[in-house]
Amino acid sequence: MRKADNSSYLTDEESIRTRTALFNKYVYPYRNLIYHICIKQTRDNDNIADNYNEVLINFFRYVHSYDPTREVKTWIYAITVRMLADLERKNNRFAREGDVGAMKMEQLPDEPCSEDVTLENYRDMFGDEVLEALERIGRKYREALLLQVAGYKLEEIMEILYQRGCLKTKNLETTKSRIFLAKKKLKEMLTRDGKRKED
């Protein structure tokens, strides 16, 4: 079987519409179940919302792989539990290897994944309210977070930001802090469903 080109798949408008329809049909009706599983499977309550968002993003990316002959609720449960176990392992490893003081951040990926989201295409990947929030947090925070979402390692994010003039010096602590603050700012502006919070 030919391996799918995830990069073109994610940026193709027709494919995005198709995945959105599949997501709304198979996943969105079970969002409360997914959130309940996140509550039960996440050790640190501060990570529940982040884990929930990561699981939903994962479902959106790969919902096209769902086999409709399978029981959808069983599939939802299995995928959610599996991904949460992976997220918890990464969270625990990051806590051991160096958090930013008392800051709670999810584990940055160990290896870059296929660059689904990039600094060039992210406007095609998110809704208007998320894009507005990303613009409001400012370039230096936005670019650090988007590079983390794309799967770059912390050292690579630091190097890219330095090359782009977003860092005056190569500093890992500053890079980690910017990612944390970007997430914090977005949480203050958006709900866990990516909607603008009412004042």
94 versus 7: which is more confidently predicted?
A: 94
Secondary structure (3-state) at 118 = coil
pLDDT of 15 above 70: yes
Which residues, 6+ apart, have CB-to-CB distance to 132 below 8 Å?
196
Least confident of 47-51, 95-99, 135-139, 140-144: 95-99
What pLDDT was estimated at residue 85? 86
What pLDDT was estimated at residue 192? 67
Which residues, 6+ apart, have CB-to-CB distance to 64 below 8 Å?
9, 15, 18, 19, 22
Chain-wide mean pLDDT for the chain? 77
Please give the average per-residue pLDDT across 172-185, as a whole number: 89
What pLDDT was estimated at residue 193? 63
Q: What pLDDT, in 10s, does the model give residues 79-98? A: 898 888 888 877 665 554 44
Confidence of residue 32 (pLDDT cuts 50, 70, 90): very high
d(Cα 180, Cα 186) in Å, to the nearest integer? 10
DSSP for 143-170? HHHHHHHHT--HHHHHHHHHHTTS-SS-
